[in-house]
Chains A and B, each alone.
Chain A
Amino acid sequence: MTLTASAPRRTARPPATLRQRLARLSPYAYVTPFFALFAAFGLFPLIYTAYVSLYRVELQTPDQMEWRGLDNYTALFGDDNFWTALRNTFTIGVISTVPQLLMALGLAHLLNYKLRGRTFFRVTMLLPYATSVAAATLVFAQLFGRDFGLINYLLHLVGIGPVDWQSGTVASQIAVSTIVTWRWTGYNTLIYLAGMQAIPSDLYEAAELDGASRWRQFLHVTLPGLRPTILFTIVVSTIGATQLFGEPLLFEGSISGGISHQYQTLGLYMYEQGWGFFHLGRAAAIAWVMFVLIVLLVLVNTAVARRRSGKENQR
């Protein structure tokens, strides 16, 4: 446009001008709205959580804080329900994440074929992602009903007696994990599919020339090319699993995660302490423990991935 015509008139080096000019134009004004909100509603609450966790604060009188040092943490670590919730979070996390990501990987591979109705499959598989935790959980709670649930009816048809999806520890955790798996498999499938499509096609052609079978191509071209994507999904799923909350809360509508806390997660335990028993300070301690846990898990994930790719490169 006017660039070539008018720029030389003003200065000999247009790029420098652009920079100088833009530098003067207070770019900070553009990032201020975001960072103001971020500081007030993102960063501050997170840091302040650590502070609150050292006090006794009750839900009804949130402005009265009483110094307690590490008491909240001592009480936490002495509470059996905390360890149960920690264990449940871990087992539900594994039961929901591992099959989910494996299925997503397989489905992405299939979706990467030339298919009729590609858009249909992609959109349909993403439908659960558009559903709220509340809606999904209420529907599945019904499907998993002990006496009249459809799942038990289907199991009955193949000769399996009624499973008590609410009271059994393993059964209830499988049921809760199923909801998570249902909601997130399609999303992860699309993430993997995007990663697969970014792998250059000449890698596959070279592999084919070398006589590699489809399976070997998947192992030696697709998987290595997908490594950063896989790490991303593992990290995101780990974070999601650590703070799982809505599914166990609404599965039966109890804040204790079942009569004997059989599927209470850390997120639900935090809610129970804060909004069930009114101990906000205690809940803050749990939140902070969850934060540290997430940071540790992410670091472990990343370290394992690094070591793996390091080994791969040595070969």
Chain B
Amino acid sequence: MTTLTAPRSTGETTAPAARPARRPRGRRAGGHERGGRLAYAILIAAALFSAFPFYWTIVAATRSNADLAKTPPALLPGGNLMHNFDQVLQQADIGKALLNSLIVSGSVTVGTVLCSTLAGFAFAKLHFRGRNALLALTIGTMMIPPQLGVIPLFMVIAKLHWVNQLQAVILPGLVSAFGVFFMRQFLVQALPDELIEAGRVDGASTARIFWSIVIPVARPGMAVLGILTFMASWNDFFWPIIALTSQQPTVQVALRQLGGGYVHDQSVVMAGTLLGTLPVLLVFGLLGRQIVGGIMQGAVKG
């Protein structure tokens, strides 16, 4: 975990604002209180801007359509949530969608983290012919949007009769050049050569070394990659709406169906949105710090 928290701790010493701290007046940004207040005001405004749509989702999901059509509009939550949830369940199979999304995102996360750790370990610590070329290929394709390959992908899926089957979404979801790169960068730093060498000398095979030495060291990196992958997979939109239909939806497919024009009851649409977003918000609430750390870590490395 040390490497992941590193950027946070340096923040206290690099920032220009850290300097007033050395003055005897103390930690409370003594010299430029005004600037400080303005900074807080702007940051609070930005935080409100970020959080307001969530609040609004809750307000709209707990109201009726008639409440939302009033002037001035309702600004506080009401008591219509259960009725709206009921409507959601009737209009889109949100229960199945949540289960499907859990299966898809869970499989994609486990598979991606495993493949990325294996390949990341090889790129970081093993020597083989063509290593640099393969690594360059991986990094080079990191930027290419997979969205541009959907047409042949769809033709393949159709040929395999996989349309409307979850593996059609899971398998392409496992390809993560970012994951390989992320784990490689993590292991280059976190895994000392001596540790592998020691295992070797003790007579362990590479597979053994991977399970008993690499995995424990890689765990913090795997956790961060896992969270980021889970969120990205849960929120994936383009490919699932092509490969799946409302008979076998993920949450995003169900949300599209809800908002797709058949239903005009806004409070029901918002109740569906709330249901579909809650799981990710839950993950975010529990692991927000780690997610922030992971994104900043990825940025410094990338």
A interface, CB within 8 angstroms of B: 1-3, 6-7, 10, 14, 17-19, 21-23, 25, 27-28, 30-31, 33-35, 37-38, 40-46, 48-49, 51-52, 57, 62-63, 103, 106-107, 110-115, 118-143, 145, 147-148, 150, 153, 182, 185-187, 190-191, 193-201, 204-205, 208, 214, 217, 229, 232, 235-236, 239, 242-243, 245-246, 249-250, 253-254, 267, 274-275, 280, 283-284, 287-288, 290-291, 294, 298
B277 & A132 in contact (Cβ 8 Å cutoff): yes
| B186 CB–A CB distance under 8 Å | no
Question: What's the minimum C-beta distance from B86 to chain A, rounded to whole angstroms?
Answer: 19
Return the CB mask of B21-57 against A: 1 if under 8 Å, else 0: 1000001010000001001101100110111011011
CB-defined A-B contacts under 8 Å, sample of 29 = A2-B202, A22-B126, A22-B206, A23-B128, A31-B118, A37-B171, A38-B141, A40-B171, A41-B171, A41-B172, A49-B148, A63-B159, A112-B11, A113-B36, A114-B12, A121-B47, A123-B291, A127-B50, A131-B235, A133-B237, A150-B73, A153-B73, A191-B295, A195-B300, A197-B10, A200-B14, A204-B16, A245-B238, A287-B148
Contact of A114 among B27, B42, B54, B255 (CB under 8 A): B27
Please give, as numbers and ranges, the residues of chain B lying within 8 Å of A153 by CB-CB distance.
71-73
| Main DSSP-derived SS at the A contact region | helix
| B297 CB–A CB distance under 8 Å | yes
Please give, as numbers and ranges, the residues of chain B lying within 8 Å of A25 by CB-CB distance.
126, 205-206
Most chain A CB inside 10 Å of its own CB: which residue of B15, B131, B260? B15
The CA-CA distance from A290 to B147 in the complex, in Å, is: 10
B206 & A3 in contact (Cβ 8 Å cutoff): no
- How many of B's residues come within 8 Å of A, CB to CB? 119
A3-B149 contact in complex given A111-B43, A214-B16, A280-B155, C-beta closer than 8 Å: no
Question: What's the minimum C-beta distance from A132 to chain B, rounded to whole angstroms?
Answer: 4
Question: What's the minimum C-beta distance from A37 to chain B, rounded to whole angstroms?
Answer: 5
Question: What's the minimum C-beta distance from A83 to chain B, rounded to whole angstroms?
Answer: 20
A148 & B73 in contact (Cβ 8 Å cutoff): yes
Interface residues of B in 2-18 (CB under 8 A from A): 7, 10-18
Please give, as numbers and ranges, the residues of chain B lying within 8 Å of A193 by CB-CB distance.
11, 296
A124 & B47 in contact (Cβ 8 Å cutoff): yes
A27 & B15 in contact (Cβ 8 Å cutoff): no
Please give, as numbers and ranges, the residues of chain A lying within 8 Å of B158 by CB-CB distance.
62-63
The CA-CA distance from A32 to B21 in the complex, in Å, is: 52
Closest residue of A by beta carbon distance from B258: A138
Most chain B CB inside 10 Å of its own CB: which residue of A2, A122, A140, A185? A122
Please give, as numbers and ranges, the residues of chain A lying within 8 Å of B73 by CB-CB distance.
148, 150, 153
Most chain A CB inside 10 Å of its own CB: which residue of B69, B177, B299? B299
A2 & B235 in contact (Cβ 8 Å cutoff): no
Contact of A187 among B14, B266, B295 (CB under 8 A): B295
The CA-CA distance from A160 to B11 in the complex, in Å, is: 43
| B288 CB–A CB distance under 8 Å | yes
The CA-CA distance from A109 to B57 in the complex, in Å, is: 30
Contact of B273 among A122, A139, A201, A287 (CB under 8 A): A139
Return the CB mask of B158-180 against A: 1 if under 8 Å, else 0: 11000000000001101101001
The CA-CA distance from A83 to B42 in the complex, in Å, is: 40
Closest residue of B by beta carbon distance from A106: B42
Question: What's the minimum C-beta distance from A242 to chain B, rounded to whole angstroms?
Answer: 8
A135 & B273 in contact (Cβ 8 Å cutoff): yes
Please give, as numbers and ranges, the residues of chain B lying within 8 Å of A200 by CB-CB distance.
14
